[in-house]
RNA sequence: GCCGAAGUGGCGGAAUGGCAUACGCGGUGGUCUCAAAAACCACUGGAGGUUGCUCCUUGUGGGUUCGAAUCCCACCUUCGGCACCA
């Protein structure tokens, strides 16, 4: 057969040609169109770091492919792009190299625009938004003022990380390592208290939580947000100090109130100074000073041993009336709940640890649900050790005989259930020798003496028990509490405390209340008595938006000595960032030293006033950028054109990195809810669907970094293999949500595939000499339509890797079919057109070129997505699997519509199957239509 | 510690109750060439074999089922998030 060589595939020429044509014809310009359903596709706003790296490609190319797919499926697709242009790297470049942040940023954007165009994405460049331009940040400032007017912005003192050597405040990501040192000079950072602006995101905590049920986001991201919001239900209970000051605590376990044997306040708690007795003053002051020096992170290190000091003061437990000591400790955080806790050491691990360390009393008030208890029978403590052991065995009680220190062998007994415990104690009472005791711990805490059984059911009981034990066995003189004594025995440790719900015990009138209703009953009772009420607490904190930096949107607030704090009048926006500032770090905003900026006049009294000199967190800019896109730099009196917004919003499909799960994605949801309450939008959630892609790793399976030297520069591959190859390879690596590693040989393989497509479409064979058989044509069409189905389903579900695998398989089939008589039939032409349309979202330039060669009308990207015909895709012949006792013994080619009886008969008649059946009788025959016959013998 | 994701050939991965290892990379052999590269073709999980076949294999151990990579239980490893949150 004679072949006419196709022109060589020259990706670079072809891609620049089509990019120019797409631009010239305005192919991706987007306008409202009420005849088509709209689809707002969005990929996360890039930061203009300088060069487009492979990570940008990995995030954006598949997102573009999906947007193109939606467009071919009849949607009016809006796929905008812009730049998150404020932020630290620009300012650092200014400090280090003397380039103005604006110039650095705008130069980077200019370079990235060119690189982004090389990707061949369908971006609506006419909607580009750059967040550092005054026309943009005017609206960022507008949002600040609106939030302020709604009471959602407020100012308070809050700590920032500060590097004493660089003399500058640091962002969270600039603080590194366990020892929390400065990213640039490795000096350990210190905390500084500064008066800063916050947004009251906590006002929407419940809505942010509940809204998660309404959006199609990955469960992983929703779980992270739920975790971050950290809603916990419980009660607020008011204790009183002995002097009478109210002292409120938050607890999730009001059912354990009777077991609250002490209280702990955060060292910063305002009541501490008043409560501390003169004798304890010195210790408390020292501890408070030490706690203040530590960073929040240091304080929160879990593995650290508990510390604390006694204030000398006492409180009254409101339910038991008992006098309990008040301590301070840094394991209690001022920022959560009320900054004070009731400590229930018997049912909280932290309180237990604290109580054991400081000799505070521990009383169990909740029954163990598992009924487990332990007892150690010391050598010589019972009348007849062997007989006792025998009694245990005959009563089905488990024990182990092992040495107890150097005293000889004892019995380590494990009990289960109230009945066993009861009988054990009775038996022990009968066996225990005078001058000894035995204890049962766990499900019951009972001390068996020769004349009585004492239960640990109150603080006082504990004291009596301990006193008697000391008189019997002096070596325990050192122990301050019964529990401390028991804790010294490792055998007991796992049954001393539990945090489960269970029947209330030792709790006055509530004793006997079942675990399931304990919490609600106690809360109801507390409310009736006026001692407390149901309460919900959140882990979520308000959003700190002040940055002591130059390169950000100035916070539009004015401080007047006479009129106080007030927002800049809307008509005066934007508050322009001055160009002429000194960036040298001082630990404060460079704007503070710009007199022309700082000094202003009061909009109310006209007198001299000062501007706020801090700028805003860049997460502010990115909280509303998807609204800006619909009409960038809008000139009206709201941030975006309401008509455009009404048509395009909200975002239908968002894609981006999972690293934004709790910051950006939480802030933008908060913004949308606030915007709804301002009357700007009529929906609750900004992004209906979210897909989070994984990370692209270096060839060595490690995160790409300059120091590792495993960074891949996409430009190198774009110039040689072409953008289409890079795009398609990134999509082929593996499931998009899992990320994957770069492979320089893998991308060659993809390039080969693209070349094979090129050749199968463009290389001309001689016409076949014989006409094609019907069966051959049917098979070709079956393959075509099956491929349409797979590729459609896979791209819709972001499974680009398997979509490409299906296309490779289809192409491999076409390479063979080309040598047969189906070549140049109508079915052949259908196959080539289909192949071209199916690859259009993945490799847009290649598809456009091939489409032109096939005689299709410009542009391939405006064509309808091919539909598949299930009748054509259906198999005529299937492989019927025959199993004998679950093992495959034969594969039969049978008509797809074979009758059950025929299939079974064929299976049983197969020679290999017969060998396994031999003379045995068939016990069961399973038939799955179209799949298999399973024979059980 | 809690929450989440993942574990399959030499490698990336496919298959979510019915042929394990699709597709690609790598490897081996071949065609073409003076030669090489490229391209193309064939083979490629392991072990055995009487080669028109068998056994083993999806992190480990159990279970459910005619049948399990897939469902259930327990455990191990890796990665991500949160972490003294009362």
SS3 for A295-317, per residue? CHHHHHCCCCCCCCEEEEEEEEC
Q: Which 810-829 positions of A have CB less than 7 A from strand B?
A: 812, 815
A356 touches strand B (CB under 7 A): no
CA of A294 to C1' of B80 (A): 28
pLDDT top residue among A206 and A705 = A206
Check residue A174 and give its pLDDT: 66
Looking across all nucleic acid strands, the nucleotide with the smallest C1' to CA distance from residue A253 is B86
A934 touches strand B (CB under 7 A): yes
A786 touches strand B (CB under 7 A): no
The gap between the terminal CA atoms of chain A, to the nearest Å, is 55
pLDDT confidence of A918, banded at 50, 70, 90?
confident
Element housing A813 (H / E):
helix A800-817
Check residue A303 and give its pLDDT: 60
For tokens 């009953």, what's the residue? A521
pLDDT confidence of A1, banded at 50, 70, 90?
very low
Between vectors from CA A759 to CA A726 and to CA A734, what angle results, nearest 5°? 30
pLDDT confidence of A2, banded at 50, 70, 90?
low
A886 touches strand B (CB under 7 A): yes
Is the pLDDT at A698 greater than 70? The verdict is yes
- Helix axis angle, A11-24 to A101-118, nearest 10°: 110
CA of A46 to C1' of B26 (A): 36
| pLDDT tens digits, A478-493 | 999 999 999 999 899 8
| Nearest alpha carbon to residue A503 among A494, A493, A490, A512 | A512
Is the pLDDT at A584 greater than 80? The verdict is no
Is the pLDDT at A749 greater than 50? The verdict is yes
Is the pLDDT at A520 greater than 50? The verdict is yes
Looking across all nucleic acid strands, the nucleotide with the smallest C1' to CA distance from residue A890 is B19
CA of A733 to C1' of B21 (A): 17
CA of A705 to C1' of B30 (A): 43
Between vectors from CA A440 to CA A436 and to CA A445, what angle results, nearest 5°? 115
What is chain A's alpha carbon radius of gyration, rounded to the nearest angstrom? 37
A3 touches strand B (CB under 7 A): no
A225 touches strand B (CB under 7 A): no
Q: Which two tokens stand for residue A674?
A: 């606030």
| pLDDT tens digits, A208-264 | 999 999 999 999 999 999 999 999 999 999 999 999 999 999 999 999 999 999 999
- Helix axis angle, A664-678 to A219-229, nearest 10°: 80
For tokens 């010294």, what's the residue? A488
A332 touches strand B (CB under 7 A): yes
Check residue A76 and give its pLDDT: 97
A722 touches strand B (CB under 7 A): no
A337 touches strand B (CB under 7 A): yes
For tokens 């002995």, what's the residue? A242
Euclidean distance between CA atoms A122 and A847, whole angstroms? 14
A291-303 mean pLDDT? 61
The answer to whether A378 and A357 have CB atoms below 8 angstroms apart is: no
Check residue A203 and give its pLDDT: 95
A410-420 mean pLDDT? 92
A359 touches strand B (CB under 7 A): no
A888 touches strand B (CB under 7 A): yes
A534 touches strand B (CB under 7 A): no
Looking across all nucleic acid strands, the nucleotide with the smallest C1' to CA distance from residue A227 is B82
Cis peptide bond prior to A269, omega within 30° of 0: no
The answer to whether A755 and A808 have CB atoms below 8 angstroms apart is: no
CA of A666 to C1' of B72 (A): 36
Q: Which 899-928 positions of A have CB less than 7 A from strand B?
A: 912, 924, 926, 928
Q: Do β-strands A38-43 and A76-78 pair in parallel, antiparallel, or remain unpaired?
A: parallel
Question: Computed from CA positions of residues A408, A414, A418, A420, in that sequence, does the dihedral angle turn out positive or negative?
Answer: negative
Is the pLDDT at A300 greater than 80? The verdict is no
A879 touches strand B (CB under 7 A): yes
Neighbours of A515 (CB within 10 A): 15
Q: Which two tokens stand for residue A795?
A: 């791209």
Task: Name the residue closest to the C1' of B14 by its CA.
Answer: A802
Check residue A696 and give its pLDDT: 92
| pLDDT tens digits, A707-743 | 888 889 999 999 999 999 999 999 999 999 999 999 9
pTM given for the model: 0.91
Euclidean distance between CA atoms A293 and A188, whole angstroms? 12
Q: What percent of chain A has pLDDT over 70?
A: 97
A693 touches strand B (CB under 7 A): no
Instruction: Kindly state the DSSP code that residue A706 receives in the 8-state scheme.
Output: T
A720 touches strand B (CB under 7 A): no
CA of A826 to C1' of B33 (A): 39
Q: Which 283-322 positions of A have CB less than 7 A from strand B?
A: 299-302, 304, 306-307
A756-762 mean pLDDT? 94
CA of A544 to C1' of B21 (A): 52
Extract the runs of DSSP E, i.e. beta strands, from A61-189: 76-78, 82-83, 129-130, 153-163, 168-170, 175-176, 181-182
Q: Which 231-290 positions of A have CB less than 7 A from strand B?
A: 232, 234, 250-253, 266
A539 touches strand B (CB under 7 A): yes
| pLDDT tens digits, A395-408 | 989 898 999 888 88
Across chain A, mean pLDDT equals 92
A91-109 mean pLDDT? 91
A887 touches strand B (CB under 7 A): yes
pLDDT top residue among A554 and A166 = A554
Neighbours of A36 (CB within 10 A): 12
CA of A885 to C1' of B17 (A): 16
Q: Which nucleotides of B are covered by protein (CB under 7 A)?
A: 3-6, 12-15, 18-20, 22-26, 39-41, 52-55, 66-68, 80-86
| pLDDT tens digits, A892-912 | 888 988 899 999 999 988 888
A713 touches strand B (CB under 7 A): no
CA of A710 to C1' of B45 (A): 31
Euclidean distance between CA atoms A269 and A317, whole angstroms? 19
């Amino acid at each position: 057969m004679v072949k006419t060589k196709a022109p060589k595939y020259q990706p670079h020429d072809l891609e620049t040609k089509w990019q120019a044509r797409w631009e010239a014809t305005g192919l991706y310009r987007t306008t409202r169109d009420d005849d088509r359903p709209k689809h707002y596709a969005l990929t996360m706003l890039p930061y203009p770091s300088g060069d487009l790296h492979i990570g940008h490609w990995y995030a954006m190319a598949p997102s573009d492919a999906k947007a193109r797919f939606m467009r071919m499926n009849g949607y009016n697709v809006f796929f905008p792009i812009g730049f998150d242009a404020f932020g630290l790297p620009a300012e650092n470049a200014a400090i280090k190299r003397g380039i103005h942040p604006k110039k650095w940023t705008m130069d980077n954007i200019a370079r990235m625009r060119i690189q982004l165009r090389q990707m061949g994405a369908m971006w609506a460049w006419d909607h580009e938004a750059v967040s550092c331009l005054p026309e943009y940040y005017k609206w960022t400032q507008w949002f600040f003022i609106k939030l302020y007017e709604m009471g959602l912005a407020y100012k308070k003192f809050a700590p920032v990380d500060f590097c004493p050597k660089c003399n500058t405040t640091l962002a969270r990501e600039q603080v590194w390592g366990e020892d929390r040192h400065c990213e640039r000079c490795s000096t350990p950072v210190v905390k500084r208290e500064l008066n800063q602006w916050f947004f009251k995101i906590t006002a929407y905590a419940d809505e942010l939580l509940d809204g998660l049920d309404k959006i199609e986001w990955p469960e992983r991201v929703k779980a992270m947000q739920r975790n971050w919001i950290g809603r916990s239900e419980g009660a607020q209970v008011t204790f009183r100090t002995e002097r009478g000051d109210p002292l409120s605590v938050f607890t999730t376990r009001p059912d354990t109130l009777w077991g609250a044997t002490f209280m702990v306040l955060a060292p910063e708690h305002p009541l501490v100074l008043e409560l501390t007795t003169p004798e304890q003053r010195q210790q408390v002051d020292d501890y408070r000073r030490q706690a203040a020096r530590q960073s929040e992170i240091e304080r929160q290190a879990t593995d650290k041993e508990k510390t604390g000091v006694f204030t000398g003061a006492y409180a009254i437990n409101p339910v038991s009336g008992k006098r309990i000591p008040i301590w301070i400790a840094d394991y209690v955080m001022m920022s959560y709940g009320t900054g004070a806790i009731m400590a229930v050491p018997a049912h909280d691990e932290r309180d237990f640890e604290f109580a054991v360390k400081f000799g505070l009393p521990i009383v169990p008030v909740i029954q163990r649900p598992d009924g487990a208890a332990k007892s150690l029978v010391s050598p010589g403590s019972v009348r007849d050790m062997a007989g006792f052991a025998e009694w245990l065995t005959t009563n089905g009680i488990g024990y182990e005989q092992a040495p107890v220190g150097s005293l000889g062998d004892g019995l380590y007994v494990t009990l289960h259930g109230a009945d066993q415990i009861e009988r054990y104690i009775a038996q022990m009472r009968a066996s225990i020798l005078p001058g000894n005791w035995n204890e049962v711990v766990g499900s019951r805490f009972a001390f068996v003496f020769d004349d009585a059984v004492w239960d640990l059911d109150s603080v006082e009981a504990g004291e009596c028990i301990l006193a008697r034990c000391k008189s019997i066995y002096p070596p325990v003189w050192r122990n301050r509490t019964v529990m401390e004594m028991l804790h010294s025995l490792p055998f007991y440790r796992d049954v001393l405390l539990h945090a489960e719900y269970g029947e209330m015990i030792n709790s006055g009138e509530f004793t006997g209340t079942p675990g399931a209703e304990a919490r609600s009953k106690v809360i109801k009772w507390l409310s009736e008595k006026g001692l407390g009420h149901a309460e919900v607490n959140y882990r979520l904190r308000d959003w700190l938006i002040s940055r002591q930096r130059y390169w950000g949107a100035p916070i539009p607030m004015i401080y007047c000595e006479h009129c106080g704090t007030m927002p800049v009048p809307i008509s005066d926006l934007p508050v322009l960032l001055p160009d002429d500032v000194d960036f040298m770090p001082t630990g404060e905003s460079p704007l503070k030293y710009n007199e022309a900026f700082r000094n202003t006049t009061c909009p109310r009294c006209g007198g001299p006033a000062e501007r706020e000199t801090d700028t805003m967190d860049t997460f502010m800019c990115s909280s509303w950028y998807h609204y800006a896109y619909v009409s960038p730099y809008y000139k009206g009196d709201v941030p975006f054109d309401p008509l455009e917004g009404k048509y395009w919003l909200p975002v239908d499909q968002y894609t981006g990195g999972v690293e934004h799960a709790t910051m950006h994605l939480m802030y933008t949801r908060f913004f949308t809810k606030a915007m709804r309450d301002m009357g700007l939008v009529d929906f609750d959630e900004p992004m209906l669907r979210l897909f989070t892609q994984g990370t692209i790793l270096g060839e060595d399976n490690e995160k790409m970094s300059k120091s590792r030297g495993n960074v891949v520069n996409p430009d190198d591959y774009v110039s040689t293999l072409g953008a289409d190859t890079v795009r398609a390879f990134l999509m082929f690596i593996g499931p998009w949500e899992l990320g994957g590693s770069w492979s320089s040989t893998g991308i060659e393989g993809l390039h080969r595939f693209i070349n094979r497509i090129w050749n199968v479409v463009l290389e001309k064979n001689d016409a076949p000499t014989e006409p094609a058989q019907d069966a051959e044509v049917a098979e070709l069409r079956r393959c075509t339509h099956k491929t349409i189905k797979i590729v459609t389903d896979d791209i819709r579900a972001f499974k680009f890797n398997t979509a490409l695998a299906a296309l490779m398989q289809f192409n491999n089939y076409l390479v063979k079919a080309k040598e047969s008589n189906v070549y140049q039939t109508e079915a052949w032409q259908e196959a080539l057109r289909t192949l071209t349309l199916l690859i259009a979202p993945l490799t847009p330039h290649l598809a456009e070129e091939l489409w032109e060669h096939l005689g299709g009308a410009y542009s391939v990207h405006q064509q309808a997505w091919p539909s598949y015909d299930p009748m054509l895709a259906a198999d005529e012949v299937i492989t019927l699997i025959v199993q004998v006792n679950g093992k495959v013994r034969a594969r039969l080619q049978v008509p797809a519509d074979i009758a059950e009886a025929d299939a079974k008969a064929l299976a049983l008649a197969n020679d290999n199957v017969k060998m396994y059946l031999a003379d045995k009788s068939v016990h069961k025959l399973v038939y799955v239509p179209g799949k298999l016959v399973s024979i059980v013998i």
